[in-house]
Structure 1
């Protein structure tokens, strides 16, 4: 090590002063010892003094050597020794920060749990509200439709139609709110089942035909002959998309026309892409609003909201439903001239065997339903008196034999007394609900355990159909239902049961 490096290192060491003192003491001890030994006359005193001086000098040298070792110690080791108190403080600070971060993590977990709990509470609330609204609405709409068929007076008939229309609007708002909640939570499932495309479009036409006639609109639909009659996909969601677009078109059109049209845009061996267009001659949408019209709760203007009402959810639900199925949505619109809404969707093709089966069922269901229930015995398990009366009247008009049970326990007692061809089972009932009642029946031996059971419920929660099937039910009908839907469900299931096609999934 050179002198400059040594000085540089030594100058930075706190023991430098002590080293200087030690060197001075050693030199002083040597000098004193030398003069004392030199001047002393007693030989024995010189010996002992020499020994004492030597030990003192050796001790001072030892201390000097230790100091020099400290000075000459490598930088890394010395710094580590010097910084050990700082490292300890740093370690303490890190531990403190770790505790703080751990506390923050716990708070985030608690906030996430609170958020999830809040979301779950919201879903439960919406489900319960839906159930509580749908149950009385089933009675309102059912009896209104039943009464409509028998009224002769034109004024009374028109008033009743207004009641039905108002009920339909209320149900549309309820369905929009539920769909919005499901989309927000990602709680949407899509089916892939064969269906007749023309029937899906025609059913939307029939549903909206009366609204168009009330406004004297030219309402029509066009389906090319080149389109397959039967496709595979989610007919329910397709109907929901078309219904939202068509009802919007009619709502915002005061004169002119509304038209639904379909066109093939791409066809492969097992898939086909179809473009749907809903055209109207309504008020139109400004250019600056066309980008955000598909956003949740968005309407063109506040004046539009006041004039035409609605939740502002219809188009946003359409966009999400189409995109979740891999499709696209677009629009062309001119203020004062009208709007064209487009969406594309892919569907699967079906085999000739499936096509024949679907078309055969479709033809049978299109036949007039006149006294089709003669000789068929139905057990109605329903605790709501209004809904009991509604189902009784609907089925009696078709000639069905009716027995009513107010809950699952009474239903089992009635089933012990006599046999039935089908059971219409409400799910939410006192004493014994529909789920447990179905499980008990399915445990019975022989034909008694295989009787067809159709769930009737106002619940619309995800997985309800799957749950009903898993406990052994054959089908599911949601409230409010119309008479044609009820008749068709019963007819199809009984025909399958009698031909041995129905298979019961026993839990």
Structure 2
């Protein structure tokens, strides 16, 4: 221990008093002994007094030495007392940090709740706006197509085609916005079902054929014979990718051609890899823009955006859909000469039994629909008057016997009074919606509880088909609907019901 520490301890009041007292006693004993020895003549008394004084002085010296040693030893109590202010300060800092972390955690939880609430509100808004747009669009497109079949005047027919084309463009924009929202939220699921590859490509060709003809483009597709007829995968998403790339190619091509071509890359025992290419002779894309065109809301230039319009979502959605399925997207382009968009995807192979069943169904669906609904009673449950009138006209043209109910409660009353062969059920209705109406019907006994029910709705959100099937509906058709698709669904479902095949169509 250093001198300064010793001085600090010795200067403490209790230790100092003890040392002074001991020194004073020792000095007092020495003085008394010296005085007694000098003042007495008795040798024996001197001797005994000297011994007693010496022992007392020795004891005092011993106690003094002990006190000094204690002063020199580390004082744990004092050390603890000296350290306690530092520990208190440390405890205070830790307590402050804990409170701060707790406050930050609460703020993060609140921010997360706000984000989730905002995301939920956005999804609800998109679902509602989609439903509200699709409902009137169903009437616009449906009645326009009905008129198209009956118009003879060429000018009127052309004007009506422009109405249909504009409506199709609006639906494409709406679908892009919904797909963007789903991709942003990670709310995309992919199916793995058998499908005919040629049918998927041909359907895209038919959808875009009219647009290509209007611009006098040479539009074609090529599928090599080496590719299997039936594969396993998500035909809907494949069609969406091809549609986005093909519509983009036709939009930016003023003359020349657009071609869809497929090529086998690798083939394994249970899997096959295919390369798809969409070629055009359009305006082309500069090298410094070839990556950014795949970004959301991106077009080549502001002039391009003004001239060709569009949301700037088509290519980005196609790219995300390919990549989410494990594929890759590439682009080759020369300004003024055209562009080639490539993407590769893997598909599963199917057994011979699945292939035979798929081709059999495909052959049947390709046959002309027998446009004769005589003797078939249809209950239409729909609250929108325009859509009521549209479905009535579409089905009455085929001879179906129609009964209309404005909501689920009216539908149940009508179903109690008479029997029907099939029910076309809207989902969003006042008083009693389509979901609850279907549940009530399915609880009925006997054949009345097994009547085929097809959902007809403007709702296209994820899981809607699965929800309809889970409550007992037989199929699902979205608005705006295609008349031929509706005829085929009614025909197939009624035939299954009459033959006693009670199965739910999940496709």
TM, length-normalised to structure 1: 0.92
Query: Residues 279-311 of structure 1, C-alpha deviation per residue, up to 9 Å, x if partnerless?
Result: 000000110011211111111111111110011
How far apart are the structure 2 equivalents of 1:397 and 1:293? 46
Residue 467 of structure 2: aligned partner: 467
Pick which of 253-262 and 88-97 moved more: 88-97
How far apart are the structure 2 equivalents of 1:341 and 1:90? 64
Correspondence 1:34 to 2:30:
yes
SS of equivalent residue, structure 1 residue 277: strand
Residue 8 of structure 2: aligned partner: 14
Residue 72 of structure 1: aligned partner: 73
Residue 99 of structure 1: aligned partner: 99
Classify 1:178/1:22 alpha carbon distance in 2 versus 1 (closer, same or farther; 3 Å): same
Residue 282 of structure 1: aligned partner: 282
Quote how far apart the aligned CAs of 1:130 are: 0.4
C-alpha contact (below 8 Å) 2:23/2:64 kept by paired residues: no
How far apart are the structure 2 equivalents of 1:88 and 1:497? 82
Residue 121 of structure 2: aligned partner: 121
Residue 249 of structure 1: aligned partner: 249
Query: Residues 446-483 of structure 1, C-alpha deviation per residue, up to 9 Å, x if partnerless?
Result: 11111111101111121111111110001111111111
| Alignment length (residue pairs) | 492
How far apart are the structure 2 equivalents of 1:20 and 1:476? 100
How far apart are the structure 1 equivalents of 2:460 and 2:206? 24
How far apart are the structure 2 equivalents of 1:221 and 1:80? 89
Residue 422 of structure 1: aligned partner: 422
Classify 1:93/1:452 alpha carbon distance in 2 versus 1 (closer, same or farther; 3 Å): same
How far apart are the structure 2 equivalents of 1:143 and 1:63? 119
Alignment of 1:159-170 (within 5 A): 159-170=159-170
Classify 1:269/1:24 alpha carbon distance in 2 versus 1 (closer, same or farther; 3 Å): same
C-alpha contact (below 8 Å) 1:277/1:342 kept by paired residues: yes
Classify 1:22/1:340 alpha carbon distance in 2 versus 1 (closer, same or farther; 3 Å): same
Quote how far apart the aligned CAs of 1:225 are: 1.2
How far apart are the structure 2 equivalents of 1:276 and 1:209? 18
Pick which of 34-43 and 465-474 moved more: 34-43
Residue 229 of structure 2: aligned partner: 229
How far apart are the structure 1 equivalents of 2:256 and 2:477? 37
Alignment of 1:355-504 (within 5 A): 355-503=355-503
Structure 1 stretches lacking a partner, 5+ long: 1-5
Pick which of 353-362 and 181-190 moved more: 353-362
Quote how far apart the aligned CAs of 1:12 are: 6.3
C-alpha contact (below 8 Å) 2:6/2:71 kept by paired residues: no
How far apart are the structure 1 equivalents of 2:131 and 2:346? 33
Quote how far apart the aligned CAs of 1:343 are: 0.6
SS of equivalent residue, structure 2 residue 374: coil
Query: Residues 348-392 of structure 1, C-alpha deviation per residue, up to 9 Å, x if partnerless?
Result: 112222222222222222222242322211111101010011111
Query: Residues 198-232 of structure 1, C-alpha deviation per residue, up to 9 Å, x if partnerless?
Result: 11111111111010011100000001111111111
Residue 300 of structure 1: aligned partner: 300
C-alpha contact (below 8 Å) 2:285/2:334 kept by paired residues: yes
Query: Residues 14-42 of structure 1, C-alpha deviation per residue, up to 9 Å, x if partnerless?
Result: 21445677556533431222112432569
How far apart are the structure 1 equivalents of 2:132 and 2:289? 37
SS of equivalent residue, structure 1 residue 358: helix
Classify 1:13/1:119 alpha carbon distance in 2 versus 1 (closer, same or farther; 3 Å): farther
Pick which of 250-259 and 22-31 moved more: 22-31
C-alpha contact (below 8 Å) 1:232/1:347 kept by paired residues: yes
How far apart are the structure 2 equivalents of 1:67 and 1:116? 73
Classify 1:258/1:280 alpha carbon distance in 2 versus 1 (closer, same or farther; 3 Å): same
Quote how far apart the aligned CAs of 1:101 are: 0.9
TM, length-normalised to structure 2: 0.92
Quote how far apart the aligned CAs of 1:195 are: 1.2
Correspondence 1:191 to 2:191:
yes
SS of equivalent residue, structure 1 residue 14: helix
The Cα RMSD (Å) is 2.5
Quote how far apart the aligned CAs of 1:419 are: 1.3
SS of equivalent residue, structure 2 residue 440: helix
How far apart are the structure 2 equivalents of 1:29 and 1:311? 106
Classify 1:165/1:21 alpha carbon distance in 2 versus 1 (closer, same or farther; 3 Å): same
Residue 139 of structure 1: aligned partner: 139
How far apart are the structure 2 equivalents of 1:106 and 1:62? 64
Pick which of 346-355 and 117-126 moved more: 346-355
Query: Residues 168-205 of structure 1, C-alpha deviation per residue, up to 9 Å, x if partnerless?
Result: 11111110000000000000011111111111111111
SS of equivalent residue, structure 1 residue 293: helix
Structure 2 stretches lacking a partner, 5+ long: none
How far apart are the structure 2 equivalents of 1:149 and 1:13? 115
C-alpha contact (below 8 Å) 1:289/1:300 kept by paired residues: yes
C-alpha contact (below 8 Å) 1:380/1:424 kept by paired residues: yes
